[in-house]
A and B are shown apart, each in its own frame.
Chain A
Protein backbone atom coordinates (compact mmCIF):
# COMPACT_ATOMS: atom_id res chain seq x y z
CA UNK A 1 0.00 0.00 0.00
CA UNK A 2 1.30 3.42 -0.93
CA UNK A 3 2.51 5.32 2.13
CA UNK A 4 1.49 8.84 3.08
CA UNK A 5 4.53 11.10 2.86
CA UNK A 6 6.05 13.49 5.39
CA UNK A 7 7.88 16.36 3.73
CA UNK A 8 9.97 18.94 5.58
CA UNK A 9 10.14 22.23 3.66
CA UNK A 10 13.14 24.53 3.78
CA UNK A 11 12.91 28.18 2.76
CA UNK A 12 16.16 29.13 1.12
CA UNK A 13 17.47 32.51 0.07
CA UNK A 14 20.71 33.02 -1.82
CA UNK A 15 21.72 29.47 -1.01
CA UNK A 16 21.08 29.69 2.74
CA UNK A 17 18.23 28.49 4.96
CA UNK A 18 16.17 31.50 5.94
CA UNK A 19 14.84 30.41 9.30
CA UNK A 20 17.48 28.78 11.46
CA UNK A 21 17.00 25.15 12.29
CA UNK A 22 17.35 23.87 15.82
CA UNK A 23 18.96 20.54 15.23
CA UNK A 24 21.18 19.42 18.03
CA UNK A 25 24.77 19.30 16.87
CA UNK A 26 24.18 20.89 13.49
CA UNK A 27 27.41 22.54 12.44
CA UNK A 28 25.82 25.14 10.23
CA UNK A 29 22.11 25.79 10.74
CA UNK A 30 22.08 27.88 7.59
CA UNK A 31 23.35 25.17 5.28
CA UNK A 32 20.41 23.63 3.37
CA UNK A 33 22.44 20.59 2.34
CA UNK A 34 23.28 19.63 5.90
CA UNK A 35 19.69 20.23 7.04
CA UNK A 36 18.28 18.20 4.15
CA UNK A 37 20.58 15.35 5.01
CA UNK A 38 19.51 15.43 8.65
CA UNK A 39 15.88 15.26 7.62
CA UNK A 40 16.39 12.42 5.17
CA UNK A 41 18.43 10.46 7.72
CA UNK A 42 15.61 11.07 10.19
CA UNK A 43 13.01 9.49 7.93
CA UNK A 44 11.73 12.33 5.74
CA UNK A 45 10.13 10.85 2.61
CA UNK A 46 11.01 13.80 0.45
CA UNK A 47 12.59 17.24 0.87
CA UNK A 48 11.19 20.47 -0.53
CA UNK A 49 13.20 23.63 -1.10
CA UNK A 50 11.31 26.86 -1.57
CA UNK A 51 13.62 29.49 -3.00
CA UNK A 52 12.63 32.98 -1.91
CA UNK A 53 15.59 34.78 -3.43
CA UNK A 54 14.11 38.02 -4.71
CA UNK A 55 16.32 38.54 -7.73
CA UNK A 56 16.45 36.17 -10.65
CA UNK A 57 20.13 36.87 -11.24
CA UNK A 58 21.27 34.60 -8.44
CA UNK A 59 19.80 31.42 -9.91
CA UNK A 60 23.26 29.91 -10.25
CA UNK A 61 23.45 29.74 -6.45
CA UNK A 62 20.21 27.77 -6.35
CA UNK A 63 21.29 25.34 -9.08
CA UNK A 64 24.53 24.74 -7.24
CA UNK A 65 22.62 24.13 -4.01
CA UNK A 66 20.25 21.67 -5.72
CA UNK A 67 23.21 19.89 -7.27
CA UNK A 68 24.98 19.49 -3.93
CA UNK A 69 21.79 18.40 -2.16
CA UNK A 70 20.86 15.82 -4.80
CA UNK A 71 24.39 14.41 -4.52
CA UNK A 72 24.03 14.05 -0.78
CA UNK A 73 20.51 12.83 -0.03
CA UNK A 74 18.87 9.63 -1.25
CA UNK A 75 15.24 10.73 -1.17
CA UNK A 76 13.37 12.78 -3.77
CA UNK A 77 13.92 16.53 -3.88
CA UNK A 78 11.30 19.08 -4.93
CA UNK A 79 12.31 22.64 -5.71
CA UNK A 80 10.04 25.64 -6.14
CA UNK A 81 10.14 29.41 -6.11
CA UNK A 82 10.77 31.72 -9.04
CA UNK A 83 10.14 29.07 -11.69
CA UNK A 84 9.06 31.22 -14.62
CA UNK A 85 10.20 29.66 -17.85
CA UNK A 86 11.18 26.41 -19.45
CA UNK A 87 14.85 27.03 -18.76
CA UNK A 88 14.19 27.26 -15.02
CA UNK A 89 12.51 23.85 -15.10
CA UNK A 90 15.16 22.18 -17.25
CA UNK A 91 18.06 23.61 -15.23
CA UNK A 92 16.56 22.54 -11.91
CA UNK A 93 15.90 19.02 -13.19
CA UNK A 94 19.36 18.93 -14.69
CA UNK A 95 20.86 20.00 -11.37
CA UNK A 96 19.19 16.99 -9.76
CA UNK A 97 15.71 18.07 -8.63
CA UNK A 98 13.18 15.26 -9.01
CA UNK A 99 10.22 17.63 -9.17
CA UNK A 100 9.87 21.31 -9.91
CA UNK A 101 7.10 23.32 -8.35
CA UNK A 102 5.39 26.04 -10.40
CA UNK A 103 3.22 28.74 -8.85
CA UNK A 104 2.77 32.26 -10.27
CA UNK A 105 3.92 31.28 -13.76
CA UNK A 106 1.07 28.75 -13.96
CA UNK A 107 -1.54 31.39 -13.19
CA UNK A 108 0.05 33.80 -15.66
CA UNK A 109 0.12 31.16 -18.39
CA UNK A 110 -1.63 27.82 -17.76
CA UNK A 111 -0.20 26.44 -21.01
CA UNK A 112 3.22 26.56 -19.37
CA UNK A 113 2.12 23.66 -17.13
CA UNK A 114 0.91 21.56 -20.07
CA UNK A 115 4.14 22.24 -21.95
CA UNK A 116 6.34 21.32 -19.01
CA UNK A 117 4.37 18.13 -18.27
CA UNK A 118 4.64 17.18 -21.93
CA UNK A 119 8.37 17.89 -22.00
CA UNK A 120 9.47 16.39 -18.69
CA UNK A 121 6.63 14.10 -17.63
CA UNK A 122 3.86 14.77 -15.11
CA UNK A 123 5.88 13.15 -12.34
CA UNK A 124 8.33 16.05 -12.48
CA UNK A 125 5.78 18.86 -12.40
CA UNK A 126 4.13 20.10 -9.21
CA UNK A 127 1.74 23.03 -9.22
CA UNK A 128 1.75 25.03 -6.01
CA UNK A 129 -1.60 26.62 -5.16
CA UNK A 130 -1.80 29.28 -2.47
CA UNK A 131 -5.49 29.44 -1.58
CA UNK A 132 -7.31 31.93 0.60
CA UNK A 133 -10.86 31.66 1.84
CA UNK A 134 -13.36 34.16 0.45
CA UNK A 135 -15.41 35.66 3.31
CA UNK A 136 -19.04 34.50 3.21
CA UNK A 137 -21.29 31.60 4.10
CA UNK A 138 -20.28 29.16 1.40
CA UNK A 139 -16.80 27.67 1.48
CA UNK A 140 -14.86 29.23 -1.40
CA UNK A 141 -11.21 29.95 -1.94
CA UNK A 142 -9.33 31.99 -4.50
CA UNK A 143 -5.79 31.53 -5.77
CA UNK A 144 -3.07 33.97 -4.73
CA UNK A 145 0.25 34.41 -6.46
CA UNK A 146 3.50 36.32 -6.00
CA UNK A 147 4.09 35.01 -2.50
CA UNK A 148 0.51 35.65 -1.47
CA UNK A 149 0.43 39.28 -2.49
CA UNK A 150 -1.82 39.05 -5.52
CA UNK A 151 -5.39 37.69 -5.67
CA UNK A 152 -5.95 36.19 -9.11
CA UNK A 153 -9.67 35.78 -8.46
CA UNK A 154 -9.40 32.21 -9.77
CA UNK A 155 -11.49 29.65 -7.89
CA UNK A 156 -9.01 27.33 -6.16
CA UNK A 157 -10.98 24.13 -6.76
CA UNK A 158 -11.58 24.82 -10.45
CA UNK A 159 -7.94 25.82 -10.76
CA UNK A 160 -6.72 22.59 -9.16
CA UNK A 161 -8.87 20.65 -11.65
CA UNK A 162 -7.49 22.60 -14.58
CA UNK A 163 -3.92 22.04 -13.43
CA UNK A 164 -4.54 18.29 -13.09
CA UNK A 165 -6.12 18.25 -16.57
CA UNK A 166 -3.08 20.05 -17.93
CA UNK A 167 -0.77 17.36 -16.66
CA UNK A 168 0.43 18.51 -13.25
CA UNK A 169 1.64 15.44 -11.36
CA UNK A 170 0.83 16.77 -7.95
CA UNK A 171 -0.72 19.77 -6.21
CA UNK A 172 1.05 21.50 -3.35
CA UNK A 173 -1.86 23.14 -1.59
CA UNK A 174 -1.15 25.90 0.91
CA UNK A 175 -3.83 27.58 2.97
CA UNK A 176 -2.93 31.27 3.15
CA UNK A 177 -5.31 31.63 6.09
CA UNK A 178 -3.48 29.01 8.11
CA UNK A 179 0.11 29.47 6.98
CA UNK A 180 2.23 30.45 9.97
CA UNK A 181 -0.67 30.21 12.46
CA UNK A 182 -0.02 26.72 13.88
CA UNK A 183 -3.80 26.23 13.96
CA UNK A 184 -3.68 23.17 11.70
CA UNK A 185 -4.29 22.64 8.00
CA UNK A 186 -7.49 24.01 6.45
CA UNK A 187 -9.12 20.56 6.39
CA UNK A 188 -12.19 21.61 4.41
CA UNK A 189 -10.02 23.12 1.69
CA UNK A 190 -7.75 20.07 1.64
CA UNK A 191 -10.61 17.56 1.48
CA UNK A 192 -12.42 19.55 -1.21
CA UNK A 193 -9.37 19.59 -3.45
CA UNK A 194 -8.50 15.93 -2.75
CA UNK A 195 -12.02 14.87 -3.75
CA UNK A 196 -11.97 17.02 -6.88
CA UNK A 197 -8.81 15.81 -8.59
CA UNK A 198 -7.21 12.45 -9.53
CA UNK A 199 -3.62 13.42 -8.60
CA UNK A 200 -1.85 13.55 -5.22
CA UNK A 201 -2.36 16.55 -2.95
CA UNK A 202 0.32 17.76 -0.55
CA UNK A 203 -1.23 19.66 2.37
CA UNK A 204 0.63 22.73 3.58
CA UNK A 205 0.17 25.67 5.90
CA UNK A 206 -0.67 25.72 9.58
CA UNK A 207 0.84 22.65 11.21
CA UNK A 208 1.58 23.17 14.90
CA UNK A 209 0.98 19.76 16.48
CA UNK A 210 1.27 16.07 15.70
CA UNK A 211 -2.49 15.85 15.58
CA UNK A 212 -2.61 18.48 12.84
CA UNK A 213 -0.52 16.20 10.63
CA UNK A 214 -2.80 13.26 11.45
CA UNK A 215 -5.92 15.29 10.66
CA UNK A 216 -4.47 16.54 7.36
CA UNK A 217 -3.80 12.99 6.18
CA UNK A 218 -7.06 11.49 7.44
CA UNK A 219 -9.94 14.03 7.58
CA UNK A 220 -8.18 16.16 4.98
CA UNK A 221 -7.35 13.07 2.90
CA UNK A 222 -4.00 14.50 1.75
CA UNK A 223 -1.42 12.17 0.22
CA UNK A 224 1.43 14.00 1.90
CA UNK A 225 1.95 16.49 4.70
CA UNK A 226 4.40 19.32 4.25
CA UNK A 227 5.59 21.26 7.27
CA UNK A 228 8.33 23.70 8.07
CA UNK A 229 8.45 25.29 11.48
CA UNK A 230 7.45 22.29 13.62
CA UNK A 231 10.55 20.54 12.34
CA UNK A 232 12.89 23.52 12.16
CA UNK A 233 12.07 24.78 15.64
CA UNK A 234 12.91 21.39 17.01
CA UNK A 235 9.38 20.81 18.35
CA UNK A 236 9.17 17.43 16.68
CA UNK A 237 11.37 15.16 14.62
CA UNK A 238 10.12 13.42 11.50
CA UNK A 239 10.48 10.14 13.41
CA UNK A 240 8.14 11.40 16.16
CA UNK A 241 5.56 12.46 13.59
CA UNK A 242 5.73 9.04 11.95
CA UNK A 243 5.54 7.17 15.22
CA UNK A 244 2.42 9.15 16.14
CA UNK A 245 0.84 8.37 12.77
CA UNK A 246 1.74 4.67 12.85
CA UNK A 247 0.20 4.32 16.31
CA UNK A 248 -3.03 5.70 14.87
CA UNK A 249 -3.10 3.39 11.88
CA UNK A 250 -1.89 5.79 9.19
CA UNK A 251 0.25 4.06 6.57
CA UNK A 252 3.65 5.74 6.54
CA UNK A 253 7.14 4.42 5.86
CA UNK A 254 8.54 3.71 9.33
CA UNK A 255 11.69 5.64 10.20
CA UNK A 256 14.73 3.38 9.90
CA UNK A 257 16.85 2.44 12.85
CA UNK A 258 20.36 3.45 12.04
Chain B
Protein backbone atom coordinates (compact mmCIF):
# COMPACT_ATOMS: atom_id res chain seq x y z
CA UNK B 1 0.00 0.00 0.00
CA UNK B 2 1.44 3.38 -0.89
CA UNK B 3 1.66 5.90 1.89
CA UNK B 4 -0.62 8.94 1.88
CA UNK B 5 1.13 12.17 1.06
CA UNK B 6 0.22 15.44 2.71
CA UNK B 7 1.49 18.89 1.92
CA UNK B 8 1.51 21.38 4.74
CA UNK B 9 1.01 25.01 3.76
CA UNK B 10 3.76 27.17 5.23
CA UNK B 11 2.44 30.69 5.76
CA UNK B 12 5.60 31.66 7.62
CA UNK B 13 3.66 31.98 10.86
CA UNK B 14 5.48 29.55 13.09
CA UNK B 15 6.81 26.09 13.57
CA UNK B 16 5.05 23.41 11.52
CA UNK B 17 7.29 20.67 12.75
CA UNK B 18 4.82 19.09 15.19
CA UNK B 19 2.07 19.08 12.56
CA UNK B 20 4.36 17.33 10.08
CA UNK B 21 5.45 14.82 12.72
CA UNK B 22 1.85 14.06 13.67
CA UNK B 23 1.12 13.10 10.05
CA UNK B 24 4.29 11.03 9.85
CA UNK B 25 3.27 9.16 13.00
CA UNK B 26 -0.01 8.41 11.24
CA UNK B 27 1.98 6.79 8.43
CA UNK B 28 1.84 9.61 5.90
CA UNK B 29 4.64 11.33 4.06
CA UNK B 30 4.56 15.01 5.01
CA UNK B 31 6.19 17.89 3.21
CA UNK B 32 6.10 21.55 4.19
CA UNK B 33 5.94 24.10 1.41
CA UNK B 34 5.21 27.74 0.63
CA UNK B 35 5.54 27.18 -3.11
CA UNK B 36 2.15 27.45 -4.90
CA UNK B 37 3.36 25.02 -7.57
CA UNK B 38 4.16 22.40 -4.96
CA UNK B 39 0.82 23.02 -3.27
CA UNK B 40 -1.00 22.43 -6.57
CA UNK B 41 0.68 19.06 -6.98
CA UNK B 42 -0.24 17.87 -3.48
CA UNK B 43 -2.45 14.87 -2.68
CA UNK B 44 -3.89 16.34 0.48
CA UNK B 45 -3.49 19.85 1.81
CA UNK B 46 -3.17 20.80 5.46
CA UNK B 47 -3.15 24.41 6.56
CA UNK B 48 -2.18 24.89 10.19
CA UNK B 49 -1.87 28.34 11.58
CA UNK B 50 -0.86 30.08 14.69
CA UNK B 51 -0.49 33.73 15.41
CA UNK B 52 -2.60 36.58 14.16
CA UNK B 53 -5.35 36.72 11.52
CA UNK B 54 -3.80 39.83 9.98
CA UNK B 55 -0.49 38.15 9.15
CA UNK B 56 -2.39 35.08 7.96
CA UNK B 57 -4.59 37.18 5.65
CA UNK B 58 -1.51 38.94 4.27
CA UNK B 59 0.22 35.62 3.64
CA UNK B 60 -2.86 34.39 1.79
CA UNK B 61 -3.34 37.56 -0.26
CA UNK B 62 -1.01 36.36 -3.03
CA UNK B 63 -0.30 33.20 -4.97
CA UNK B 64 -0.45 30.85 -1.95
CA UNK B 65 -4.00 31.98 -1.20
CA UNK B 66 -4.96 31.50 -4.85
CA UNK B 67 -3.57 27.99 -4.80
CA UNK B 68 -5.46 27.12 -1.61
CA UNK B 69 -8.73 28.60 -2.91
CA UNK B 70 -8.40 26.74 -6.23
CA UNK B 71 -7.61 23.54 -4.33
CA UNK B 72 -10.75 23.77 -2.26
CA UNK B 73 -12.89 24.78 -5.26
CA UNK B 74 -11.67 21.69 -7.12
CA UNK B 75 -13.02 19.54 -4.33
CA UNK B 76 -9.68 18.20 -3.14
CA UNK B 77 -9.07 17.17 0.50
CA UNK B 78 -8.26 20.04 2.85
CA UNK B 79 -7.68 20.11 6.59
CA UNK B 80 -7.55 23.47 8.34
CA UNK B 81 -6.21 23.77 11.87
CA UNK B 82 -6.82 26.80 14.12
CA UNK B 83 -6.09 29.83 11.89
CA UNK B 84 -6.29 27.43 8.95
CA UNK B 85 -9.97 27.09 9.90
CA UNK B 86 -10.56 30.78 10.60
CA UNK B 87 -8.96 31.79 7.28
CA UNK B 88 -11.76 29.99 5.38
CA UNK B 89 -14.26 32.66 6.44
CA UNK B 90 -14.83 36.20 5.23
CA UNK B 91 -13.34 38.25 8.03
CA UNK B 92 -12.27 38.35 11.66
CA UNK B 93 -12.85 40.73 14.55
CA UNK B 94 -9.14 40.34 15.22
CA UNK B 95 -8.24 42.34 12.12
CA UNK B 96 -11.13 44.46 10.79
CA UNK B 97 -10.71 45.20 7.09
CA UNK B 98 -8.58 42.14 6.41
CA UNK B 99 -10.11 39.51 4.15
CA UNK B 100 -10.08 35.79 4.71
CA UNK B 101 -10.38 33.31 1.85
CA UNK B 102 -14.17 33.65 1.93
CA UNK B 103 -14.75 29.99 1.09
CA UNK B 104 -17.60 30.05 3.58
CA UNK B 105 -19.79 32.95 4.61
CA UNK B 106 -19.28 34.02 8.18
CA UNK B 107 -16.95 35.76 10.54
CA UNK B 108 -14.51 35.08 13.37
CA UNK B 109 -15.31 36.52 16.79
CA UNK B 110 -13.43 37.04 20.02
CA UNK B 111 -14.66 35.44 23.26
CA UNK B 112 -16.71 38.26 24.73
CA UNK B 113 -15.62 39.91 27.96
CA UNK B 114 -17.92 39.11 30.85
CA UNK B 115 -18.21 35.38 30.13
CA UNK B 116 -17.98 33.29 33.27
CA UNK B 117 -17.21 29.66 34.05
CA UNK B 118 -19.34 27.19 36.01
CA UNK B 119 -18.08 28.66 39.29
CA UNK B 120 -18.96 32.19 38.21
CA UNK B 121 -15.32 33.21 37.76
CA UNK B 122 -14.36 35.31 34.71
CA UNK B 123 -13.32 33.12 31.79
CA UNK B 124 -9.70 33.34 30.85
CA UNK B 125 -8.91 34.39 27.28
CA UNK B 126 -7.08 32.88 25.42
CA UNK B 127 -8.90 29.60 25.86
CA UNK B 128 -5.91 27.31 26.48
CA UNK B 129 -6.06 23.68 27.41
CA UNK B 130 -8.06 20.52 26.95
CA UNK B 131 -11.75 20.83 26.30
CA UNK B 132 -14.50 18.52 25.17
CA UNK B 133 -16.52 18.54 21.97
CA UNK B 134 -20.13 17.74 21.21
CA UNK B 135 -20.48 16.21 17.78
CA UNK B 136 -22.59 13.91 15.69
CA UNK B 137 -20.07 13.93 12.90
CA UNK B 138 -18.29 10.64 12.07
CA UNK B 139 -14.79 12.19 12.05
CA UNK B 140 -15.08 13.64 15.55
CA UNK B 141 -15.93 11.69 18.66
CA UNK B 142 -18.72 13.08 20.79
CA UNK B 143 -17.40 13.80 24.28
CA UNK B 144 -13.76 13.51 23.23
CA UNK B 145 -11.08 15.90 24.52
CA UNK B 146 -8.85 18.03 22.31
CA UNK B 147 -6.21 20.69 22.93
CA UNK B 148 -7.17 24.32 22.24
CA UNK B 149 -5.14 27.54 22.11
CA UNK B 150 -7.12 30.51 20.78
CA UNK B 151 -8.94 33.74 21.56
CA UNK B 152 -11.20 33.79 18.48
CA UNK B 153 -13.71 31.32 17.06
CA UNK B 154 -15.59 30.91 13.77
CA UNK B 155 -19.24 31.86 13.35
CA UNK B 156 -20.46 30.31 10.07
CA UNK B 157 -23.55 31.85 8.46
CA UNK B 158 -24.65 28.37 7.46
CA UNK B 159 -25.15 26.42 10.67
CA UNK B 160 -25.12 23.12 8.83
CA UNK B 161 -21.36 23.57 8.39
CA UNK B 162 -20.83 23.04 12.11
CA UNK B 163 -19.44 19.57 12.81
CA UNK B 164 -18.61 20.07 16.49
CA UNK B 165 -19.18 22.53 19.28
CA UNK B 166 -17.33 23.15 22.52
CA UNK B 167 -18.45 24.88 25.68
CA UNK B 168 -16.45 27.86 26.89
CA UNK B 169 -18.82 30.29 28.56
CA UNK B 170 -21.38 28.92 26.09
CA UNK B 171 -21.09 26.73 22.99
CA UNK B 172 -18.87 27.81 20.11
CA UNK B 173 -18.12 26.16 16.76
CA UNK B 174 -15.01 24.00 17.23
CA UNK B 175 -15.03 22.14 13.90
CA UNK B 176 -16.64 22.37 10.47
CA UNK B 177 -17.04 19.84 7.67
CA UNK B 178 -18.32 20.21 4.13
CA UNK B 179 -17.55 17.93 1.18
CA UNK B 180 -13.76 17.95 0.86
CA UNK B 181 -13.13 20.44 3.64
CA UNK B 182 -12.49 19.58 7.25
CA UNK B 183 -11.35 22.19 9.74
CA UNK B 184 -10.97 22.36 13.48
CA UNK B 185 -10.24 25.08 15.98
CA UNK B 186 -8.34 22.65 18.22
CA UNK B 187 -4.93 21.13 17.50
CA UNK B 188 -5.07 17.46 16.50
CA UNK B 189 -1.26 17.38 16.52
CA UNK B 190 -1.29 18.24 20.24
CA UNK B 191 -4.32 16.15 21.17
CA UNK B 192 -2.70 12.79 21.79
CA UNK B 193 -4.61 9.72 20.57
CA UNK B 194 -7.87 11.61 19.97
CA UNK B 195 -6.01 13.99 17.66
CA UNK B 196 -4.27 11.11 15.90
CA UNK B 197 -7.67 9.63 15.11
CA UNK B 198 -8.80 12.88 13.45
CA UNK B 199 -5.62 12.81 11.37
CA UNK B 200 -6.24 9.17 10.39
CA UNK B 201 -9.77 10.06 9.30
CA UNK B 202 -8.40 12.84 7.14
CA UNK B 203 -5.96 10.39 5.55
CA UNK B 204 -8.74 7.88 4.90
CA UNK B 205 -11.28 7.90 2.10
CA UNK B 206 -14.16 9.78 3.61
CA UNK B 207 -16.42 12.51 2.41
CA UNK B 208 -16.94 14.87 5.27
CA UNK B 209 -20.39 16.27 4.97
Contacts and interface: CB of A to CB of B under 8 A. Distances in A.
Contacts of A123: 126, 128, 149
Interface string A205-246: 000000000000000000110000000000000000000000
Contact of A2 (B51, B168, B196): B168
A143 interface: no
Interface stretch (B16-24, B38-46, B67-75, B99-107): B16-24
Nearest to B129: A2
Contacts, number: 80
A200 B124 contact: yes
Contact of A75 (B122, B124, B192): B192
B132 interface: yes
Given A74-B190, A121-B51, A45 B128 contact: no
Interface stretch (A52-60, A93-101, A145-153): A93-101
A70 B190 CA distance: 10
B190 A75 contact: yes
Interface string B123-144: 0101111111000000000000
A3 to B, nearest CB: 4
Contacts of A169: 126, 128
Nearest to B20: A71
Interface in A93-118: 93-94, 96, 98
B50 interface: yes
A93 B15 contact: yes
Nearest to A44: B192
Chain A: interface size category: 20 to 34
Interface residues of B, number: 34
A98 B17 CA distance: 11
Interface string A43-80: 00100000000000000000000010011101110000
Contact of B147 (A70, A75, A122, A199): A75
Contacts of B15: 93-94, 96
A258 B192 CA distance: 11
A25 B3 CA distance: 32
Contacts of A1: 117-118, 131-132, 167
Contacts of B124: 198-200, 223
Contacts of A71: 17-18, 21
Contacts of A93: 14-15
A132 interface: no
A224 B124 CA distance: 14
B4 interface: no
A70 B18 CA distance: 6
Contact of B18 (A2, A96, A122): A96
B126 A253 contact: no
- Closest 8 interchain pairs by CB? A253-B145, A3-B130, A253-B130, A71-B21, A123-B149, A74-B192, A2-B129, A96-B17
Interface of A: 1-3, 5, 40, 45, 67, 70-72, 74-76, 93-94, 96, 98, 121-123, 169-170, 198-200, 223-224, 253-254, 256, 258
Given A198-B122, A256-B194, 10 more contacts: A3-B145, A76-B190, A93-B14, A94-B15, A98-B190, A121-B51, A123-B128, A199-B124, A253-B130, A258-B193
Interface of B: 14-15, 17-18, 21-22, 25, 50-52, 117-118, 122, 124, 126-132, 145, 147, 149, 167-168, 189-196
9 contacts: A1-B118, A2-B127, A2-B168, A70-B17, A74-B193, A74-B196, A75-B190, A121-B51, A253-B130
